[in-house]
Amino acid sequence: MKKLSLILIVSITFVIYLFGNKSLNFIKKTNKYKDGDIIFHTSKSSQSKMLSVATNSNLTHVGVIFHINNVPYVFEGRQPVSYRTLNSFITDGENKQYKVLRTRNEITPNQISVMKNYAMAQMGKNYDLQFTWDDDKMYCSELVYKTFKSAGIKICNENTFKSFNLSNEMVKKAIYDRYTKIGKKINLNETVVAPIDIYNSWGLKTIENTYSIF
């Protein structure tokens, strides 16, 4: 009986140690992120390869991190615009690889509050398949850009459609399906911001990178 009790105590202690360490590692991992950190991954969505070709980058999706009750969530432009746990965002990327960047200049608590309120106000909007610059719908990098802009922070330079690779057949098909087919015409001078435009910003620094290459 004593031997059985000893085995039981050792087993319970091991389980607590094992899961305790995992919990501790998770806390350490998530605590290193700040509100306003920007996270990128390679999306597994059907349009990801097309976006990769058009923008010449494997970073095809981006979101911004805000904490709710001390838990980090990623606010992102998808269908619909919404937020989810950091772990869910990471798991959704190809090979669970991701990059986290942070502004070189400190963001004030007041700016964070303005940004978070702006991002929260966009929740529920439809994803913008035409990548237009109005606020009726939102795509991922537009949401991030405008979230920072709401607090007076220019996160990167704006771009236009004509600066991207529109000659690829995959991209041409997307333009046809999303514009021509429904009687619309793409405006090559339309303001647009891609994930890679944000990533290349001089005002950001890399906090974490789990990509084996790039």
Give residue 158's Cα distance to chain centre: 18
How many residues in the chain? Answer: 214
- Answer yes or no: is pLDDT of 142 > 90: yes
DSSP string, 55-77: HT-S--EEEEEEEETTEEEEEE-
> At 18, is the pLDDT very low, low, confident or very high (cuts 50, 70, 90)?
very low
Share of the chain above pLDDT 90, in %: 84
Is this model's pTM higher than 0.95 or not? Answer: no
Q: What is the 3-state secondary structure (H, E, C) of 169-203?
A: HHHHHHHHHHCHHHCCCCCCCCEECCHHHHHCCCC
- Answer yes or no: is pLDDT of 112 > 70: yes
Residue 123, pLDDT score: 98
Alpha helices in 32-168 (DSSP H): 48-55, 86-92, 109-121, 140-149
Q: Pairing mode, if any, of strands 82-85 and 38-41?
A: unpaired
> At 212, is the pLDDT very low, low, confident or very high (cuts 50, 70, 90)?
confident
> At 5, is the pLDDT very low, low, confident or very high (cuts 50, 70, 90)?
very low
For the chain, which domains are there?
32-158+192-209 (3.90.1720.10)
